[in-house]
Structure 1
Amino acid sequence: MLDLNNKVALITGVNNPQGIGASTANSLAKAGAKVVCVYKKLKFHFNENETRENGFNKYHKALSCDAAEVEEQIKQFTNNYLIIERDSVEKDNITDIFNIIEQRFGNVEIFVNNAAMCSENDTIFYPLMTRR
C-alpha cells in the first residue's frame, strides 16, 4: 500500500458517505495521511414520494446529508483529521480553509477537488421520458 505517512491531504465535496470524496478520504487515511474533508451542508427540498418513484431517493438523501457519517468512517483509520463545513467556491472560505489547515497540520501536500456544482436543471432530475 502507498505510504502517505503525515502528508496533509485536502478533499472537497465530502458530503456523501458512499461517494467518491468519502472513499478518497478513507483511502488516504488508511495510507497514513492527515485528512481534511471540506463539505457544504446542502439544504435541498424534495418530494420523497416523487423521488422514490423516479428512483432518485438515495441520490436526493445523499445531497442533503452532512459529513457526520464520513467522519465516523475516517475515525476508524486515523485521529489526524479535520472536518470543515464551508462552501469551497467562495474566495473568503478558501482562505479560511487553508488557514485552518496550516494552523493544525501545516501545508497541504495532496489536493482532491471533488466538489461539484449542481442545479435543479441537471439531467438527473428529469424523468427518463423527457430525455428521449
Structure 2
Amino acid sequence: MIDPRLRGRVAVITGADSPLGIGAATARALARQGCKVVLVSRPRTPPEPTDHVCDALRADGVEADSVAVDLADPSAAGVVFEHAEGCFGPVEILVNNAAHHVPDTFRADPVRGLVAVEAAGLDAHHAVNTRAPALLIAEFHRRHLRRRASWGRIISISTDAVPGTAGEVSHLASKHALESLSRSAAAELGSAGTTVNIIACGPVQTGWLSEHATARAAELSPLGRVGRPDDIADLVVFLASHQARWLTGQTLYAGGGKRML
C-alpha cells in the first residue's frame, strides 16, 4: 500500500462552494488521506447559515472548517490563513482552485452568452484568478519561514486552454498568469522545501457543461469521456504526496489525452 504521508497535514482549498466542484472533490480526497481541510468559499448575499460542503465532510467524520471571503479583497489571504491556523494549526498544503469566469470577447458585436472585453471585467478576472493566488502563496511562504518549516505543497488549478481561444479572453489570460506566477514560486520557494505545481484541466463536468459540450468533449478524448472532479482531486493528492517530492514547477495536463490529438 502506498502511503502519501499526508495524515495530519492542514490543507486550504479555495473555490470550494459547490458540492459538484473540483474544490469539494479535492477536500474529500485529501480528507481520505487524513488531512484537516479548510474550504474557502465566496460570501453569499444574504449570508447562508451553513456551508453545505463543510457540513457533509463533518458528517463523515472529517476535521473540516470553512471561511467565506471575497478573494478579490487584497486582505483575504491573511484572513484565510488566520482562520485556518486558528482551527487546525499551520497550513502546509495550499490548493489555488477558485476562479472568476465570465466569457468575453474582443468582437464588437458579442453573441449571446458573451460580453465585450472591458476594464472592469479584466480586473475582476485578474483579482481572483491571478492576484489572489499570488497573495495566498506569499502569505503561505511568510508563515512557512516564520515557523522554520521544511515541507510545503502548493497546487494551482488551471486549464489546458491557456494558449487562448475565442470567447474566453479575460479568463484564459488570468489563468496563463496564474501558471507563470506558480512557476516563479516553484523557483523561489524550493529552497524552503515547498513544491509548486500546476494542473491544467481539460473539460470537467462540474454542472456547467451542456449535453452537447459533454458529448463533444468525450469525442475529443482518447479515453472517451469528459473529466470528473475526482479525476483532478486525485492528481492534487498525488502532487501533495511524498511520492511527488521531486516534482516542482511542472504542469500536468489532465484532459484524458485530449491535448495529445
CA distance in 1, matches of 2:102, 2:49: 18
Gaps of 5+ in 1: 44-64
> For 1:118, which of 85, 89, 101 is the aligned residue?
101
Task: State the alpha-carbon separation in 2 of the partners of residues 104 and 42 from structure 1.
Answer: 22
SS of structure 2 residue aligned to 1:108: coil
2:36·2:64 contact (CA, 8 Å) conserved in 1? Answer: yes
Q: 1:108 aligns with which of 91, 110, 114?
A: 91
- Identical pairs, percent: 32
Cα distance change of structure 1 residues 117 and 18 upon mapping to structure 2, 3 Å threshold: same
Count of residue pairs brought into register by the alignment: 106
Alignment partners' CA distance in 2, 1:29 and 1:100: 18
Q: Secondary structure, in 3 states, of the residue corresponding to 1:75?
A: helix
1:59 is matched with which residue?
A: none
Q: Which structure would you say has the larger Rg?
A: 2
Aligned to 2:71: 88
Q: Deviations over 1:106-125 (max 9, x none)?
A: 21111111100123648xx7
Secondary structure of the corresponding residue to residue 8 of structure 2: coil
1:28 matched to 2:11: no
For residues 44-78 of structure 1, give each alpha carbon's deviation from its aligned partner in whole angstroms, at most 9, with x where no partner exists. xxxxxxxxxxxxxxxxxxxxx99732123312443
Whole-Å Cα distance in 2 between the matches of residues 22 and 41 of structure 1?
16
Aligned match of 1:61:
none
Distance in 2 between the 1:75 and 1:66 partners? 16
- Does residue 17 of structure 1 match 2:4? no
TM-score calculated relative to the size of structure 2: 0.36
Give the secondary structure class of the aligned counterpart of 1:101: helix
Bigger shift: residues 98-107 or 30-39: 98-107
The Cα of 1:102 is off from its aligned counterpart by: 1.7
TM-score norm. by structure 1 comes to 0.66
Cα gap change, 1:94 to 1:66, in 2 (>3 Å): farther
Which of 99, 102, 117 lines up with 2:82 in the alignment?
A: 99
Which runs of no fewer than 5 residues in structure 2 stay unpaired? 106-111, 115-166, 168-261
- For residues 16-50 of structure 1, the C-alpha deviation after alignment (integer angstroms, 9 at most, x for no partner) is 1010000000111111101000000356xxxxxxx
In 2, Cα distance between equivalents of 1:35 and 1:82: 7
Query: Offset at 1:87?
Result: 1.4
Displaced runs of 4 or more, over 3 A: 76-79
The aligned amino acid for 2:74 is K
Conserved in 1, the CA contact under 8 Å of 2:8 and 2:36? yes
C-alpha distance 31-74 of structure 1, shift in aligned 2 (>3 A): same
1:79 positional shift: 4.1
